[in-house]
Chains A and B, each alone.
Chain A
Amino acid sequence: MSIDIYWRVGTHGDQPSLRRRTQSRGGFVDVPVPGQLAPGLRDGVPDGYSYADHVADVVRASEAAGFVGGLLPSFPGTDDPWALAASLAQQSRTYRFMVAYQPGFLHPVQAARLTASLQAATGGRIVYNVISGGGGPAQLWWGDKVSHDDRYARTSEFLDVLKGVWAGDFSYEGRFYRVEGAGLPKDLAGQPFPEIYFSGSSPAAIEAAGRHADYYLSWLEPFDALAAKFAQVRTDAAALGRTPRFAVRLDVLARPTEEQAWDEIRRGFENLGPEALRAFEGGGDSVGAARSRGFTGDPSKGYRGLEVAPNVWGGFHLLRGGPVFGLVGSYHQVAQRLDELIGLGVDAFILAGVPHLEEAHRIGENVLPLLARDHDITIP
């Protein structure tokens, strides 16, 4: 199997760089800042562009740069990935929309119909990132009271029902869902079922992943921790007669030289106030978030204090919203670390960089070709 390399989309706007935590793209600001884009201002009046217009450009940039598609994340404050994928389906050619969603919020019949329609619109370019929730206040915010371990039981049942509806003439009576004579309309039957990227670090999640995941997706962690996690998933899946593939979601900050890359981090770090350094206290009952925080270093020792292994830096959450770990280094070093991850069994990457559009081009032009010398990379 060739390696699928995705590029993430910022569904919560984007920053012009990691140097300052200033959102300038997509209108995700309380007060308009100079240089804000999509919507922009002309003579003080909104120019009629929306964040979907910028994301459409990120999508096209990702296609041009050689990525197979992108992950569209979903959090309370973000734009919705289904809305984005449906809006941009016709404005892309090869791009696979990896839609992040929580099964609890959408009925499986609706999920099946929505997905099949988008498969028809895109020629089969929808991919799932099934998340079962960070929990805590966020879960109640969504109007969902199902407890942490039950959420994975529900996710399993949700995917059973979804697949049953997809196959057609399906009736079911379970703990969470009940349907009678469900199926897809004739026009939509026979579409390919999306690949499933499955996240979650708790034992309940790993068990559910064993049943349903095509790819078990993890945030980047120190490589030995990641290897141990993969081993656990492999064991659980084997017991169910399945062999999942593995995917890692990580940020990359790559420059022609290592010094230039760290200089970028240093500039961002120096612009952080003490309040920002104390950030990342929340996170609900997400086991993955707690794991990541446990692995990283001490920011009071400076930005290099967060480098837990060569080029593996655990401070990205301080410079932009989102996960902790990513790679920092020269193009060659970043490619080398990605190569090592492939050696650990990684079959797919979801890379990200800020700003997403420009960094998609940079990584596509400078890092992907290095990786392609030794590996079979999926050509979109």
Chain B
Amino acid sequence: MTTLDIQVLLPTRAEGVRHGFGHLREVVRAAELGTLSGAVVPFDPDGLESWSVAAAALRDTRWLRVAAEFHPGVSTPVYAAKVAASLQRFSGARFAWRLAVDLDPAVARAHGDFTVGDDRYLRAAEFLQIARGVWGGGKASGPGGVKGEFTFEGKFFDVLDGGFAAPLSLVPFPQVQLTGASPAALDLSARHGDVHIFAPPTLAAAAQLTELATAHGRTVQLGVQLSVLLREDAAELADAPFRDEVDFAGTYAEAADLLRAYAAQGVSTVVFDARPRIEETYRVGEHLRPLLENPVLEGV
């Protein structure tokens, strides 16, 4: 079978006595050494800011793709793209974006964002169009590369003569992950997303998304995000804490079956929310992941 893109959610706030960038480093190292493919820094109003966490995580790893989740009100799309271009340059193009569009209204207002309803999706679409536009707007010239060929007049954002010059323009645009199951969310992904993550992990809207994307001549990869508790056997599982609080509790073999079932429905990305994060990330890397591809050591 195809190798699944397995990712983990990173901690953004204290978990017991573990906290801060030291804790983060251990989790991303666990994911890296466990040969997982990525990590996601959630937008957490009560936690660390995601760009800074992602930058540190990228610096601590060689292979891991690190997605930072943020909402499109944090900066101009040009500035977000500028930051992203540097992180792509520094990381060998392992940085990704996850846009948080459907914010809780009170959280949004506390972040200076008073845009409501489907306007949020329109703004997110403009954000991505501009970010991609200046990235590929290229041929910037003049002192410091100040005049490019990309102009955009939108409802929320404007750019005149924008466009990055080399070398910022030479790295790939970050992978764009989006979430949500509403018609507006699916439409945004169909037009501008690379990967759509369903959380909760139900695929009821997946067919509709694929259809919409096809209508736009695009392909959007499918992903699920789920909280998990994984153990070697049923007895051990019965003793584990929090088993009723997760989307899925099971043995490594059962988890592998679940992921195969997702894969059969077209899912290529699975994001695990598993705690305590360091230990559980090692479990995923050492026990689950080998079940999902032809084990190299089989029969040895």
> A87, B56: Cβ atoms under 8 Å?
yes
> B110, A109: Cβ atoms under 8 Å?
yes
Residues in A with CB closer than 8 Å to B58 are 87
Chain A, residues 165-190, CB within 8 Å of chain B (1/0): the string is 00000000000011111110111100
B13, B74, B77, B163 — most chain A CB neighbours (10 Å)? B74
Considering the complex, give the chain B residue whose CB is closest to the CB of A53. B90
A107, A186, A284 — most chain B CB neighbours (10 Å)? A107
- In-complex Cβ contact of A187 among B47, B83, B89 (8 A): B47
> B21, A89: Cβ atoms under 8 Å?
yes
Bound: A104/B79 CA distance, A:
10
Instruction: Tell me the smallest distance from the CB of A148 to a CB of chain B, in Å.
Output: 16
Chain A, residues 69-96, CB within 8 Å of chain B (1/0): the string is 0000001111110111011111100000
A82, A86, A179 — most chain B CB neighbours (10 Å)? A86
B297 CB within 8 Å of chain A: no
> B21, A51: Cβ atoms under 8 Å?
no
> B144, A76: Cβ atoms under 8 Å?
yes
Residues in A with CB closer than 8 Å to B110 are 109, 179-183
Q: Interface size class for chain A?
A: 35 or more
Bound: A291/B116 CA distance, A:
46
B251 CB within 8 Å of chain A: no
> A82, B51: Cβ atoms under 8 Å?
yes
> A50, B89: Cβ atoms under 8 Å?
yes
Bound: A93/B46 CA distance, A:
27
Bound: A86/B52 CA distance, A:
5
> A80, B21: Cβ atoms under 8 Å?
no
Residues in B with CB closer than 8 Å to A262 are none
Bound: A183/B92 CA distance, A:
35
B231 CB within 8 Å of chain A: no
A108 CB within 8 Å of chain B: yes
- In-complex Cβ contact of B56 among A90, A114, A161, A179 (8 A): A90
Within 8 A of A (CB), among B143-181: 143-148, 157-168
Residues in B with CB closer than 8 Å to A141 are 78, 140, 146-148, 159-163
Residues in A with CB closer than 8 Å to B167 are 26-28
Bound: A88/B45 CA distance, A:
24
- In-complex Cβ contact of B162 among A84, A143, A186 (8 A): A143
> B14, A80: Cβ atoms under 8 Å?
no
> A50, B83: Cβ atoms under 8 Å?
no
Q: From known contacts A50-B89, A87-B55, A90-B21, infer whether A179 and B47 are also in contact, taking CB-CB under 8 Å.
A: no
Chain A, residues 102-118, CB within 8 Å of chain B (1/0): the string is 00111111100110111
Considering the complex, give the chain B residue whose CB is closest to the CB of A104. B76
Bound: A183/B106 CA distance, A:
12
> A86, B55: Cβ atoms under 8 Å?
yes
Residues in A with CB closer than 8 Å to B59 are 52, 87-88, 90-91
A48 CB within 8 Å of chain B: yes
- In-complex Cβ contact of B109 among A86, A87, A116, A180 (8 A): A180
- In-complex Cβ contact of B158 among A30, A86, A143, A178 (8 A): A143
B21, B49, B82 — most chain A CB neighbours (10 Å)? B49
Q: From known contacts A48-B92, A144-B76, infer whether A188 and B48 are also in contact, taking CB-CB under 8 Å.
A: yes
A267 CB within 8 Å of chain B: no
B73 CB within 8 Å of chain A: yes
> A145, B13: Cβ atoms under 8 Å?
no
B130 CB within 8 Å of chain A: yes
> A282, B112: Cβ atoms under 8 Å?
no
Residues in A with CB closer than 8 Å to B44 are 185
Residues in A with CB closer than 8 Å to B20 are 120-121, 187
Residues in A with CB closer than 8 Å to B140 are 76-77, 141
Bound: A177/B109 CA distance, A:
11
Residues in A with CB closer than 8 Å to B163 are 141
Q: From known contacts A76-B146, A83-B90, A107-B111, infer whether A185 and B76 are also in contact, taking CB-CB under 8 Å.
A: no
Within 8 A of A (CB), among B28-77: 44-49, 51-56, 58-60, 70, 73-77
Residues in A with CB closer than 8 Å to B87 are 83, 87
Q: From known contacts A77-B145, A107-B73, A143-B157, infer whether A179 and B112 are also in contact, taking CB-CB under 8 Å.
A: yes
B85 CB within 8 Å of chain A: yes
B25 CB within 8 Å of chain A: yes
A75, A80, A90, A114 — most chain B CB neighbours (10 Å)? A80
> A51, B55: Cβ atoms under 8 Å?
no
> B166, A30: Cβ atoms under 8 Å?
yes
Sample of 10 more A-B contacts, CB < 8 Å, known A89-B52, A187-B13: A75-B144, A80-B86, A87-B55, A87-B59, A90-B21, A117-B49, A117-B53, A121-B21, A181-B106, A185-B44
What are 17 inter-chain pairs, A to B, with CB distance below 8 A?
A79-B86, A104-B76, A106-B75, A106-B79, A107-B73, A108-B112, A110-B74, A117-B53, A140-B160, A143-B76, A143-B162, A161-B112, A187-B13, A187-B14, A188-B48, A282-B142, A284-B146
